[in-house]
Structures are given as C-alpha cells and as structure tokens.
Structure 1
C-alpha cells in the first residue's frame, strides 16, 4: 500500500468542502486532478470512500469512518511542520547547557538574560555539574552542549574554542604580592600558603607541574573541589589560589587581586563541546553564539 499525504489531504478537503469543485481551488488543483487523487486513494485502500452514484455528494460509510483517521493524520503532519518551522525561526525550543558551578553562577546568567530578551519562547536549562560529569551529560544527549575546560584529546566531541586566558594567582589585596608592579613568576609562590584544587581536578596536575618546575614546594594549606571555593578562601586572606584569568574577571571582588603568572605563561581554554557528528538545533546554535559574544568581552 502506498497511500500518500497528498491523497489524504485531498480526501479530507473534499469531505470538508462538500465536493470536488469546491475543494479543488483550496488544493491548488483542477477538479479532474482532485478527482484523480481520490480515485487513486480508493484504489490503494480497496474501498469506495465517496458515493458517485447520486447527484448529491456523499461519503460512504467507509468514507465517514476513514475521514476521522485521515483528518487526524493530516492535522498531525501539518502541526509537525509548523512546529519545525517554529524551531528553525527560533520562536520556540529548549536548550540544556552543562557547565561548571562557577560559570553557571557568573558568566551564564547575563548571557541567558540577553538571549531570553531576544527569544522569550525558548527555554534554557542549566546543569551545573562537576567538570568530570559534563562530558557524560553531553554524550548521553541530556545536554545539548558542554561549556568549560576539557581534556584536549577526545574524538567523542566536536569542539569550539570560546575563551583563552592565562593562569595566574588570586592574592588577598592587602598582601605585598598584590601590590607589586612586576607580574609574579611561579617561583614567587614559594613559601606562601596555597589554596589548591583537589587532585580530581584536571587543573591540579598542570599547576603542580609548573610549581615544581619553578622549585616551589607543593604543600597546600587547603584543597577544594571548586574554583569559587578557592577564591572565597583567598578573599578571607587564608592563602593564594592559582586560577585562570577569567575567574578573576568574573568574580570581581575587591578583597583579592588577580596577577598573571609568568616564567612560563600557561594558557587555559574554555570550549563548547558537542557530541561528535551531532548538529545543534537552531536555538542551541544561537545560544552558543551569544556565549561566544560574552566570552569575547572577557578575552585578553
């Protein structure tokens, strides 16, 4: 059986209009072409749907019963097409972004507010997660994309660079290191109380590597899971924390000062990751562009 949507639409319109003559203009067909569509449909079904034996137009019993199903199918398809057009034009949709708690609480709120001003019918959901869980949400399809810092080599993802910033040290504002004119080197951290990320953080190994390379003994006063916690401890004057530069800009606290570290300069990169081979919906792609624009204001 090869019943087409065109045939179903013709039958529904003929039934609603009360005849071939009235239906043909609405279908953008001639009367004979409309009649042909119905005959082909009847041939496919093996049923007579319209009684042509009388001068008055009438559906057969089979035609009346079939009309209920045909009308529902046509309506469902037309609604699906309309919904798809709404998505394409970003008049509706749903986006889920998986990111870290720090980015979710600092960078994303303003971006979401601007996006929803432009596209109020789109729903934006944020999954604020530990970094190691973000990639899993993206792979499972529970998130449209991930936003954060990720391992460089992973063929499971397509990646878009959003923001590149150097590592530096967050220093309590009253400490001499915060006021020094010369940018500090890694070796200048020797002897200072250190607030370190836990070993579960991908950043910890990188930081330890450069501190040891500079002859700094790694003996943290505190070990924490989240960058926001590290900054909070530094604000309280409890130590220094090595963080990416964007953290200092996003936190905006007067109680600590961010100083880029030199010898060497170490770059960190925030990216958007999408499951490899998956295309973003129009609304998700648009939100990614809003994120990129927000990140450009923090770059450098």
Structure 2
C-alpha cells in the first residue's frame, strides 16, 4: 500500500471543508490536483472513502472511520516536525557532557549559565567525574561529548583541541612566595607539596625531570580531588599546582594563584566525541559556545 502524506492531507482537508473548491484553496492546489489525490488514495486503500455529488461531498462509511485516525496521524507528524524545527532552531534540546570534577565546579557552571541566557530552551546536563571516566562515558554513548586531557589518538573518538594552558602555583595568600609575578618551579618545590593521585602527578614529574634533572616533583601528600588539595592549602598544610580555570575556586578559599616558570609546563584539553555519531544541533551549539568562551579567557597567553 503506497499512501502519501499529500493524499492524507488532501483527504482531511476535503472532509473538514466538505468542498473541493474550499479544500483546494486551503491546500494551495487546483481542484483537479485535489481530485487526483483523492482518487489515488482510494486506489491505494482499495475502497471508496468519498461520495461525490453535484451539490456536496460526503464521506462513505469507511471514510468516516478513516478520518479521525488520519487526522490524529497528521497531528502527531506535525508535532514531530515542529519538535525537530525547535531542535534545529535551538528552542529545545538536551546536551549531555562528561566533565572532570574540578572543571565541573569552576569553568562549566559559568559557561552553562551564559549559554542558558542565550538558549533558555536547551538543557545542559553535566556528568561530573574523575578524569579517567570521561573517555569511557564518551565510548558508551552516555554523553554527547566529553572534555578531557590529551590522550593517544583513538580510531573511534574524535578529539578537538579546546584549550592549552599552563600549570599555576596555588599558595596561601600570606605565603612567603605569594606574589603577582611568575614563580620558578625550583622555588615552589622547596615547600610541602600537595598533588593529585595518578596521572596528574606522573605528568608533572615527567615534564619537570625532562626539563631539568634538579627538579624533583615529590608531593608530600596526594589526594583524589583538587577541591581537597585547595582546602588543605587553605588550611596551611602546603602548596599545590592547578590549572587557570580553578581560579574562581581558589578565590573562595582565599588563595593566591600565579604563573609557574622555568619551565612553563602546559596541559591540553580536548572535546571528545564518537566518530560514528552526529551530535545534535544543541550539542554542537554548546560545543561552539564553550570553545568561544574559553578562547576569550586567554589562558594560553598567561605569562609564565
């Protein structure tokens, strides 16, 4: 059975108006075209659904049964088309993002708030997690995309550079090293150091040793989350190293954050998405918005 939407819309318009003239005008087609569509529909159904007389148009018994079903189908389709149009116009939609825990409580709320002002109909859902869980969430399809540090190239995951920023020293505001200018790693490493467990510490140790054999990154304490490290620094238990987007959180703890130099050690973060999936218009818009927001911060240009 080969029934088209044009045929169904012609039938409903004719049934509702009771006139070929009026229905054709409503559909912006000629009467002969309308008559042809009704005939095609009847041939496809194998039954007569319209009785034609010289004075008026009446539905057959089958036509009367068929009308409410057809009208409901067209209404559902029209609603579906409107929903798609809203998604394309960013009037609705959901964006799901996997984000490292520190970024989820510093940078992302700012971006989500600014995005919501421009696109109030789009809901952004953050999945905050440890860095190591970002890529698995992207792989599983649990999120539209993730934000994570540089990783070896993977065949099924597309990575687009989001930012490249230098590591910063985080100190109590009254610490002897606290100031406004760049701070040498050699000076920072003389003080009790608090760092993150796993990859974070390994990267810093490797980069510093590659720069100079005299730079030994040996944390006195290692914790799971940067929020814990910042709290410990605020309590006077040592100093730590973080990335510039943590500045807002450091400010809450009354801490000083300043550039590190000799050497400048940087870390890249990427937008990660599956190559075999096309992300929604809302997700694409948020990714572009995030990239532009980060570019305006000029973290990569910070002295160090």
What corresponds to 2:23 in structure 1? 23
Q: CA deviation at 1:126?
A: 1.4
What corresponds to 2:121 in structure 1? 121
Alignment gaps of 5+ in structure 1: none
What corresponds to 2:205 in structure 1? 208
Q: Secondary structure at the match of 2:237?
A: coil
Could you tell me whether the CA contact under 8 Å between 1:158 and 1:277 is conserved in 2? Answer: no
Q: CA deviation at 1:217?
A: 4.5
1: distance between equivalents of 2:292 and 2:181? 32
1: distance between equivalents of 2:182 and 2:165? 19
What corresponds to 2:243 in structure 1? 244
Cα RMSD after superposing both structures: 2.3
What corresponds to 1:106 in structure 2? 106
Q: CA deviation at 1:272?
A: 1.7
1: distance between equivalents of 2:181 and 2:289? 36
Could you tell me whether the CA contact under 8 Å between 2:194 and 2:239 is conserved in 1? Answer: yes
What corresponds to 1:220 in structure 2? 219
Q: CA deviation at 1:279?
A: 2.8
- Mark the CA change 1:180 to 1:54 in structure 2 (over 3 Å): closer, same or farther: closer
What corresponds to 1:197 in structure 2? 196
Q: CA deviation at 1:205?
A: 1.5
Could you tell me whether the CA contact under 8 Å between 1:97 and 1:126 is conserved in 2? Answer: yes
2: distance between equivalents of 1:288 and 1:210? 30
Could you tell me whether the CA contact under 8 Å between 1:107 and 1:250 is conserved in 2? Answer: no
Q: How does 1:1-300 map to 2 (within 5 A)?
A: 1-52=1-52, 55-179=55-179, 183-185=183-185, 187-199=186-198, 202-213=199-210, 214=212, 215-248=214-247, 251-252=250-251, 255-299=254-298, 300=301
1: distance between equivalents of 2:296 and 2:97? 20
The aligned length equals: 297
Task: Provide the TM-score with structure 2 as the length reference.
Answer: 0.88
Residues 259-287 of structure 1 deviation map (CA, whole Å, 9 limit, x = unaligned):
43333322112222222143332222222
1: distance between equivalents of 2:248 and 2:105? 13
1: distance between equivalents of 2:189 and 2:74? 74
Could you tell me whether the CA contact under 8 Å between 2:15 and 2:59 is conserved in 1? Answer: yes
Could you tell me whether the CA contact under 8 Å between 1:189 and 1:216 is conserved in 2? Answer: no
Could you tell me whether the CA contact under 8 Å between 1:170 and 1:258 is conserved in 2? Answer: yes
Q: CA deviation at 1:218?
A: 4.7
Alignment gaps of 5+ in structure 2: none
Residues 78-131 of structure 1 deviation map (CA, whole Å, 9 limit, x = unaligned):
111111111111111111222122212111222222222222222221111111
Could you tell me whether the CA contact under 8 Å between 1:194 and 1:219 is conserved in 2? Answer: yes
Task: Provide the TM-score with structure 1 as the length reference.
Answer: 0.89
Q: CA deviation at 1:236?
A: 1.8
Q: CA deviation at 1:226?
A: 1.5
Residues 217-264 of structure 1 deviation map (CA, whole Å, 9 limit, x = unaligned):
454322111122222212222112122233346533574333433333
Q: Secondary structure at the match of 2:73?
A: helix
Could you tell me whether the CA contact under 8 Å between 2:90 and 2:282 is conserved in 1? Answer: yes
- Mark the CA change 1:30 to 1:256 in structure 2 (over 3 Å): closer, same or farther: same
Could you tell me whether the CA contact under 8 Å between 2:169 and 2:242 is conserved in 1? Answer: yes
